[in-house]
Structure 1
Amino acid sequence: MTNSPFISIIVPCYNQAEYLDEALNSVLNQTFSNWECLIVDDGSPDNTQEIANVWCLKDDRFKYLKKQNGGLSSARNYGIKFARGEWVLPLDADDKIADKYLELANNKIKQDQDVCLIYCKAKFFGTRNDDYNLAQYNFVNLLLENMIFCSSFFKKSDFIEVGGYDTNMKFGYEDWEFWINLLKNEKGTVSKLDYLGFYYRMKDSGSMIQEINKDEYKKNYSFRYMIKKHSELYLNNEKLPNIIQLNYENIHLKDKNLKLQKKIQFIENNFLYKILHRIYKFISG
């Protein structure tokens, strides 16, 4: 191992100890060897520390860090703070990477001095085993939907410059907001490798992206926060104002509908309502 790793892999872990071995094994199997892997225990109540320590003894490129629970963005930021690599690759503890992902990314970095973000083809595994198909990247489309998954390479210096992951993105989409922040000034190019290098685990429950996608409040909160934070990007882009206005109106209508549904549910569950409803049915025959 060299004194200065080129790539730092950041693995935040909270209640994912059962999957951690598989994630770390995918790191150990990399054909590119100049890396370090920082396992960030985000105050996890399971046996994350025990498993991490085994890996640290197995290979000193693995390092264990522990912090008070603060969420995914906080854990990634904490790990990257201690990262010694010039480039960073986040890897969630329940996902995995293919063995040439680091090697091919390193080759791309050497070939293209302007590249600032690198990702690849991806696939689901677990409860789903199909391709993870995402739209082709361009920045205008990125403002409307995320097409770059979290396990993508970026420079630590760029991470520091934009202030890291926003810990206010507490429900998810934190990687989406980070990409917008990273790419908004067009500092470099984005490259997608023609290689299946990332595997995203799907589970019956417990996945952050599944939780936010089925919860309208969390989804709307996160999207509204991004629009407000990057309002100049959204409102000053001539291709977006009409779309953003429609999004605002759609979110507003969904909020009103959700509040109305909650009021109806409260009334229907109220004991007095049930009695009055029975009396009304009896009187009306």
Structure 2
Amino acid sequence: MLEKPKVSVIVPVYKAEAYLYRCVDSLLMQTFTNFEILLIDDGSPDRSGEICDEYARKDTRVRVFHKENGGVSSARNLGLKYAQGEWIAFVDSDDWVESDFLEVFRILSVDVDMIHCGLQLEQKPKKFVRYSIFRHRQQIKPSELLNPVYFSSCSVSYFYKRSLINNLGLKFCDVIKYSEDRQFIIKYLSSCSNNVLLIDNQAYRYCLNSSSAVHSERSYTRCLDDLVVLHSLKGLPLATATPFVFRLFVKGFILAYCIYCDKSKPDFHVAINDLIRYSEGYSHEYLLFQSFVKYPMLTVSAFKCYWWIRTIYHKMK
């Protein structure tokens, strides 16, 4: 590759031989061609590593790194270490993208620090549900992205400036298992001085599988990890400078926690007390949280109402 790539696409790979061809082929079919792909083989025991090497031999834009298994966060961090592009994108190896996924970089003419695009959830084969839909291109302040109307905790729905990541020394936390995306995104936002660009593109296909059911053990552990993340974010300038927006963020967390967590588990009651102590600083959220714990059906109704209002809002914009 002679010219410096505009975008570095980092793909952690682990037990992905069933999906990897679809993923990488979709990236190589991009209409915007000034990019590199970093395939990070995270000690995969199947043929994933061999498949990665196949692509590296065929296309100079593909670089492969093999490492011992350490999880998706350590794989992404290794990709960040060796990335050369001006912008960073993350793609999961079991997902795929449309050919215009990177097209925004052909026409990008504004100085922004982050780009937020939509994605589509594949709930069943070839059945997609749009998520994070923006009806038109617009710019917002970094603090506004915390508003649940805009915010997505999926790192794959954003493009990041590599220079900001390097200046901040930002890495994915490999201690927590499921909420590293949320922590990374908000810490990145805290370093942004320019606006965030929202684009009306749902080129990313996020594929769900049976293990991601909302009431699974994974969802419960993720909520506990969210609590750790929430505490780590409380003192950030982004939170203290925009208390109203951060309160909305807290509300979204409380709602998800009450829905997904199994109240019969001992850890739930420990986390309840911890979250109550945290939310006491936000009087409205404290009362809201108490209501959700006392009246579980209110939690479910509020969740449904939230998504209905969110959908109507995007249709009106």
TM-score range, shorter chain: 0.7 to 0.9
Paired with 1:241 and 1:104, the residues of 2 have a C-alpha distance of 32
Indicate conservation of the 8 Å contact 2:113/2:192, yes or no: no
Aligned residue for 2:94? Answer: 94
Partner of residue 121 from structure 1, selected from 118, 121, 132:
118
Aligned-CA RMSD value: 3.4
Paired with 2:21 and 2:84, the residues of 1 have a C-alpha distance of 23
Greater Cα radius of gyration, structure 1 or 2: 1
Paired letter, 2:210: D
TM superposition shift of 1:147:
1.7
- Deviation string 1:19-55 (CA, Å, 9 cap, x unpaired) is 1111100111011111111100011111111111111
Indicate conservation of the 8 Å contact 2:147/2:248, yes or no: no
**When the two structures are aligned, how many residues end up with a matched partner?**
256
Q: Does residue 153 of structure 1 match 2:151?
A: no
Indicate conservation of the 8 Å contact 1:71/1:170, yes or no: no
- Deviation string 1:245-275 (CA, Å, 9 cap, x unpaired) is 99679969x687421999xxxxxxxxxxxxx
Q: Does residue 21 of structure 1 match 2:21?
A: yes
1:31-70 equivalences in 2 (<5 Å): 31-70=31-70
TM-score of the pair, normalised by structure 2: 0.69
Q: Matched residues, percent identical?
A: 27
Partner of residue 224 from structure 1, selected from 224, 227, 240:
227
- Deviation string 1:190-210 (CA, Å, 9 cap, x unpaired) is 1222222111012222x5xx5
Paired with 2:257 and 2:76, the residues of 1 have a C-alpha distance of 30
TM superposition shift of 1:160:
1.6
Paired with 2:255 and 2:99, the residues of 1 have a C-alpha distance of 45
SS of residue paired to 1:84: coil
Unaligned regions of 5+ residues in structure 1, if any? 263-285
Q: Residues 192 and 65 (structure 1 numbering): CA distance in 2 closer, same or farther, change over 3 Å?
A: same
SS of residue paired to 1:130: strand
TM-score of the pair, normalised by structure 1: 0.76
Q: Residues 261 and 185 (structure 1 numbering): CA distance in 2 closer, same or farther, change over 3 Å?
A: closer
Indicate conservation of the 8 Å contact 1:39/1:64, yes or no: yes
- Deviation string 1:78-132 (CA, Å, 9 cap, x unpaired) is 0111111111111111111111221223422xx111x111132321226262323
Paired with 1:246 and 1:48, the residues of 2 have a C-alpha distance of 37
1:131-280 equivalences in 2 (<5 Å): 131-134=129-132, 139=143, 142=146, 146-147=151-152, 149-151=154-156, 152-168=158-174, 170-205=176-211, 207=212, 210=213, 215=218, 217-233=220-236, 234=239, 237-239=242-244, 240=246, 244=250, 257-259=264-266
Paired letter, 1:172: Y
Unaligned regions of 5+ residues in structure 2, if any? 135-139, 270-317
Paired with 1:98 and 1:26, the residues of 2 have a C-alpha distance of 7
Paired letter, 1:18: A
Paired letter, 1:29: M
